Amino acid sequence: MPSSPLLPACLVSALLLAAAPVGAQMANTPAEPAPEKATSDKSSDKAVPLSKGEIQLSFAPVVKRAAPSVVNVYASHVEKRSARSNAMEEFMRRFFGEDRPGRGPGGMPGERAQRSLGSGVIVDASGLVITNNHVIENMNEVKVALADKREFEAQFVLRDPRTDLAVLKIKSPADIAPMPIGDSDHLEVGDFVMAIGNPFGVGQTVTQGIVSALARTQVGSSDYQFFIQTDAAINPGNSGGALVDLKGHLVGINTAIYSQSGGSHGIGFAIPASMVRAVVETAKNGGSLVRRPWLGARVQTVTPDIAESVGLDRPTGVLVASMQAKSPAEEAGLKRGDVILSVDGQTVDDPEAFGYRYALKGISGTADLGILRGSKRQTIPVKLGPAPETRPRDSLKVRTRTPFAGATFVNTSPAVSEELQADLPDEGVAVTAVDDGSLAGRAGFRKGDVIVAVNGMPIASTKDLDRLTQRNLGLWEVAIKRGGEVLTSVFGG
């Protein structure tokens, strides 16, 4: 990794020392007399520190700059209880002789609270804090505690479940230290990084390691999978914390670990700073929703067989499988069977990498797609813009006692298709959410399902579905489209 004038000299020395072979480290020292006969003493492979400066090599200067920007995030969901629920809680408390979960402050019934603990990073002097969406998901109150023990109330500014990022804003910030957002595209495997956060709620903790891998796409914690992998110890509570380079810049937001025990096994994942920057810029500009460019094409992985058939020496890029009418892809002249190899000169190896790179391009201007068509490579400019809402969503949350109860439905459109990452018809009704434990959940409905017909009647809009769910029908025959197949199930009334 190239040195920087911003780095303390001792850290530059540390990198040079770590990168050089032992012989090189000793090159400027007087030669030792050769031993009279060989020995098996392995201590000869180790180098003695040659100066006080080498003994005192430390990451402390970087930590001092970065740590004040990392915060603890305390989120909670406070739910008012009904009188009947309060009476039951009081009965349970008296019967078992203990304070039951969900009691209000001071042991008084009336509220039920769910709590979440994570980390966050101050990224703007106005008080903006970036964290993981899963830290504050379903929460309605949040506090932020700084490294100097000050606590602030915070408000929700933006939630972006597709990237698992969220932005909070500290109320009445004073003397806060934002962390500069670095360039994650320049990270290399082997670079030193540090993870700063609040693991297990023990307080701010710093761990150090290296970048183990880049562009990890099979993690499964968000729609845009392009993670930095590190062996710096990341544990529960580190979520939303900072992955920091040796300049003290934010290069990632720690979000997930691979573990069978719940503790760190040296495989942690962070959302790259390039995606973090896009979300933060949206919040700075007053947006509450991150808008991303729409291509209007479905792409798939290039397998070894496909690579051989199109003349590639290895499986890389993404194959254009289909396109929507009047989409940017169609208007740009993309064709089914084209292989997209790059986005603005940055290579893409799989659909996840393509989705990540394309999502960062914004919703104005153009992006140059490098493609392979037949045996010819060419560049095609594609106009950037958001997926259109071709008709109102008319969101419907079904509450009547039917198989649909607890699910949320919307009218389909290219924008809905983009958000659900699914090929949806231009006219139809799609499931966007299913409550845990609901009748719809027990019936097997999933996010992304399209309701085709109910009792033989086509469903073209949420109004059609709403009218049917108001009826007291004995049986419900429901046809849904899922993954290209139409499935039919019958439920009792």
- For residues 1 and 354, the model is more confident at 354
- For residues 104 and 318, the model is more confident at 318
DSSP states along 204-236:
-EEEEEEEEEEEE----SSSS--EEEE-S---T
Evaluate whether 57 touches 10 at the Cβ level (below 8 Å). Answer: yes
Residue 88 confidence (pLDDT) above 80: no
What DSSP designation does 140 have?
Answer: -
Residue 291 confidence (pLDDT) above 50: yes
Residue 95: pLDDT band with limits 50, 70, 90 = very low
Q: What is the three-class DSSP state of 344?
A: coil
CA atoms of 196 and 181, how far apart (whole Å): 15
Mean pLDDT to the nearest integer, 339-350: 93
Percent of the chain exceeding pLDDT 70 equals 78
Tokens (6 digits) for 395: 């969101």
CA atoms of 72 and 151, how far apart (whole Å): 9
Q: Give the CA dihedral 27, 30, 33, 39, nearest 10 degrees.
A: -40
Evaluate whether 161 touches 137 at the Cβ level (below 8 Å). Answer: yes
What DSSP designation does 302 have?
Answer: -
CA atoms of 120 and 176, how far apart (whole Å): 13
Among 412, 408, 418, smallest CA distance to 329 is for 418
Q: Which residues are catalytic?
A: 134, 164, 239
Q: How far is CA 365 from CA 293, 308, 328, in A?
A: 10, 34, 12
The whole-number pLDDT of residue 279 equals 92
Least confident of 21-25, 81-85, 229-233, 319-323: 21-25
Residue where the block lists tokens 């460019």: 293
Residue 70 confidence (pLDDT) above 50: yes
The whole-number pLDDT of residue 75 equals 86
CA atoms of 298 and 314, how far apart (whole Å): 21
The whole-number pLDDT of residue 36 equals 45
Least confident of 176-190, 217-231, 249-263, 316-330: 217-231
Residue 259: pLDDT band with limits 50, 70, 90 = low
Compute the residue count for the chain: 493
The whole-number pLDDT of residue 223 equals 63
Residue 311 confidence (pLDDT) above 60: yes
The whole-number pLDDT of residue 280 equals 93
Q: What is the three-class DSSP state of 373?
A: strand
CA atoms of 242 and 196, how far apart (whole Å): 5
Residue 113: pLDDT band with limits 50, 70, 90 = low
Within 10 Å of residue 335's Cβ, how many Cβ atoms? 13
The whole-number pLDDT of residue 22 equals 32
Residue 380 confidence (pLDDT) above 80: yes
The whole-number pLDDT of residue 104 equals 45
Tokens (6 digits) for 281: 């810029």
Helices 351-359 & 273-284, crossing angle to 10 degrees?
30
The whole-number pLDDT of residue 218 equals 61
pLDDT digits (tens, 9 = 90+) for 440-486: 999 999 999 999 999 999 999 999 999 988 887 778 899 999 877 88
- For residues 199 and 167, the model is more confident at 167
The whole-number pLDDT of residue 426 equals 77
pLDDT digits (tens, 9 = 90+) for 384-396: 999 888 899 999 9
CA atoms of 2 and 188, how far apart (whole Å): 11
Residue 261 confidence (pLDDT) above 70: no
CA atoms of 217 and 412, how far apart (whole Å): 28
CA atoms of 11 and 19, how far apart (whole Å): 12
Mean pLDDT to the nearest integer, 172-176: 81
Mean pLDDT to the nearest integer, 323-345: 93
The whole-number pLDDT of residue 451 equals 94
Among 471, 414, 406, 408, smallest CA distance to 439 is for 406
Residue 167 confidence (pLDDT) above 90: yes
Least confident of 1-5, 373-377, 407-411, 452-456: 1-5
The whole-number pLDDT of residue 198 equals 86
Within 10 Å of residue 268's Cβ, how many Cβ atoms? 28
CA atoms of 82 and 76, how far apart (whole Å): 19
Look up residue 456 and give its amino acid.
G
Least confident of 27-36, 50-59, 356-365, 398-407: 27-36
Q: What is the mean pLDDT of the chain?
A: 80
Residue 38 confidence (pLDDT) above 50: no
